[in-house]
Amino acid sequence: MAIINIFTRFGDIARREVRELDRLNYQKRKFEKMEEDKRIFSESDAKEKKRVEDILSEIQASIKSKNKPVEVCDPLFVATRTLLNEQGGLSIRLASHDEGVLLPAGLNSMEAMRKAFEANSLIGLLSADIAFISLTTGLLLADGVTAPAIAVVDQEGSEIGVKAKGNPNGKTLYPDENDPQYREFTRSFFAALGEARSYGDLAERVLAILAGEGDPDGFGGVRPNVKAEEFAKVMRGLKNSKIPQDEPQLRRRVNEQLNKIQNVGSEDSIADLAIDLPDLDTLFDHTIVAENVRVMGPMICAAMFEELKVFQVVDRIVEQFQHGMLPIGPGEAGKRLYNYWREAPNRMSEQERRNFAAITLGVPGGEPGALVNREFNDLWLRFVSSVSSFVRQNEVDQLLRARTPSAISQQQVRKAARDLAGNLSLHGYGMAHYAGRELQAQIVGIISLLGDREILGAYGARDMWQVVDQVATYELGGARTSSRYRTLATCGTIITAWLANNIARINNPTGAIIDMASVRFPDNAPDHRATVNPNDYDLVNACELWLADTATSDSQVEEMAQPREAPQMTSKPIPIPAMARQMLDDIGDIGLGLGVGRPAWPNGSAVRH
């Protein structure tokens, strides 16, 4: 049994609390503005106004009280705490948390817990409880479960978070059992509860390792930091890798899973460009395979680099270096150019890259007979337009106080996301995984090569894009606007990563597909990386940027956002008869690429052969 630091801080739990408190204060200010404008409140508005005011008042009262912990208002934590205390079988009740540090019943704050610890009088949560609570919460976060709303109810005795059955003693925050989402959350909770119990002692050992990795000074002097959602993803990764309970090299296995989750291992230069492509090693057996969707990120980046002629620029620089026409002497730049030239036979050729672009993205230029993704362009634009239309409509609804249209739009976005994810999953099978990894490695190497100081100096450039523009202009018939295609590459990576990370939300027929609270109050944590683990705000921002950079008009967005019947597609590739394949070959390549209904690439230019 591992010993876990009781002062371990769960950063994502703390951040969710801050974000929910900001959201409640925002709603309060909005209602106050409506009162100032003397607008008439509907019945639902009046109820929501009272609920928000009651919650904020109870939080303020708990701050002033010396007899109870500060109330927390994150709906997911409140609902999880209630069900854990009532059904979870904890050895000691969970009261609250103080900036992400779990507080047992009887202690009002982390400072009180520290004093009790120093006085050897602490009766707190056991290591097994801390691991079980954080893992159950992390599983719910990883699955994107929507929690029911919270309400202020009468409190039982001095137990915070306990609903009174007899004589009340003050107030406390409690999940609203009349919320339609309460039943769905309860089902999700017990699924997470069973999964957390199934890991046994392994969960405690893993959490102790994660706490050690998150201890800034490494000696326990500073509070360890762990993310509950990462904890859950690591446990699932270990399970999928069939790591036993008594694994002797568990720390190494845990760090391997962390590297996959956090995408550790890429060179720093790729992050500077905001192209941060994920690891594609793990496959899961679902109708929509998350990793098949994720593999499209490198493909979109490669397509944009192809349009910018980056691959051709590097080939021309290597050719000049080979012929002695580049003023670069022995050094790191020369080694990189030589290695790039030497590895040429092992890299994909331009035609091979175009073949994979046709297979995965429907970009024209592939060889006849390949399984071209002919529906990608239409499905992609429908999803991007649906997200944009939903957010715009939601803001108008907030202004006009009309609730019904937003609920309908949620399902339209869900359908568009499901159709696109299914299409990407279908065309991400087979060699596309390995091609995506190779393209990712090649892109990282190219960025490092073109950013070398010697090469920049040889061309009198300040960054790699000036090198690309100069070589493309003088040697390859003209340059493109690099900022546009860099934006499209980043947006494509964010959108595909969001789809891959939210398969459970996409397949779930109930609950919100886009959390407007996350959109209005995005996660601004320093370690947040939109291209690896995008939130709903990152998705909305990427969709709006994509539409802006592809010059998609509002009328086109509105038209594309309308629901259409999904194209016929299977959950995995199915061999078709030779006669049917011959007929498709005779039709030719009718893919439309990544644009807005224009031929070829996003700027509407013809394919260059």
| DSSP symbols for 533-598 | S--HHHHHHHHHHHHHHTT--HHHHHHHTS--PPPP--SS-----HHHHHHHHHH-----TTSSSS
The mean pLDDT of 481-499, rounded to a whole number, is 90
Q: Are residues 565 and 480 in the same domain?
A: yes
What pLDDT is stored for residue 267 in this prediction?
Answer: 41
In a domain, 232, yes or no: no
d(CA 191, CA 86): 16
Average pLDDT over residues 136-153: 90
Tokens at residue 146, please? 């929507």
Q: In the 3-class helix/strand/coil scheme, how is 43-70 assigned residue by residue?
A: HHHHHHHHHHHHHHHHHHHHHHCCCCCC
176 DSSP 8-state letter: -
Residues 189 and 275 in one domain: no
Last residue of a domain, one of 146, 170, 198: 198
Instruction: Assess whether 504 and 356 both reside in one domain.
Output: yes
Which pLDDT tens digit goes with each residue over 538-554?
Answer: 999 999 999 999 888 88
Domain count, the chain: 2
Sheet holding 101-104, edge to edge: 94-98, 101-104, 9-10, 225-226
CA–CA dist 93, 104 (Å, integer): 6
Q: What percent of the chain has pLDDT over 70?
A: 82
Does residue 447 sit within a domain? Answer: yes
Asked if the structure places residue 258 within a domain, the reply is no
Residue 576 domain flag: no
CA 171 to chain centre: 36
Q: Which of 151, 177, 198 is the C-terminal boundary of a domain?
A: 198
Q: Is residue 372 domain-shared with residue 455, that is, in the same domain?
A: yes
Higher confidence at residue 272 or residue 157? Answer: 157
> Is 577 inside a domain boundary?
no
Identify whether residues 415 and 560 lie together within a single domain: yes
How far is it, in rounded angstroms, from Cα 10 to Cα 455? 45
Which tens digits make up the pLDDT trace of 22-76? 889 988 888 888 888 888 888 888 888 899 999 999 999 888 887 778 889 999 9
397: tokens are 């609804």
- Pairing mode, strands 168-175 and 150-156: antiparallel
Contact 569/423 with Cβ under 8 angstroms?
A: yes
What is the identity of the amino acid at 535? N
pLDDT digits (tens, 9 = 90+) for 588-609: 544 445 543 333 344 433 333 3
**Sign (positive or negative) of CA dihedral 562, 565, 569, 570:** positive
Mean pLDDT of 184-203: 91
Q: In this structure, are 378 and 462 located in the same domain?
A: yes
Exposure string of 260-288, with b = 16+ CB inside 10 Å and e = fewer, is bbbbeebeebbeebbbbbbbbeeeeeeeb
- Asked if residue 245 belongs to a domain, the reply is no
Co-location of 321 and 416 in the same domain: yes
Judge residue 177's burial from the number of C-beta atoms within 10 Å of its C-beta, 0-12 exposed, 13-18 middle, 19 or more buried: middle
Query: Residue 406 has which token pair?
Result: 């937003």
What is the domain range of residue 102?
Answer: 9-198
Q: What is the pLDDT of residues 386-432, one digit of tens each?
A: 999 888 877 655 545 444 444 446 888 888 999 998 888 888 777 87
Please report whether residue 208 resides in a domain: no
pLDDT of 255-289, one tens digit each?
A: 888 887 776 544 443 334 445 444 433 333 356 78
- Same domain, residue pair 178 and 309: no
Q: What is the mean pLDDT of residues 80-101?
A: 87
Judge contact between 309 and 468, C-beta under 8 A.
yes
- Judge whether 248 lies within some domain: no
Average pLDDT, the chain: 80
Q: What is the reported pLDDT for 479?
A: 83
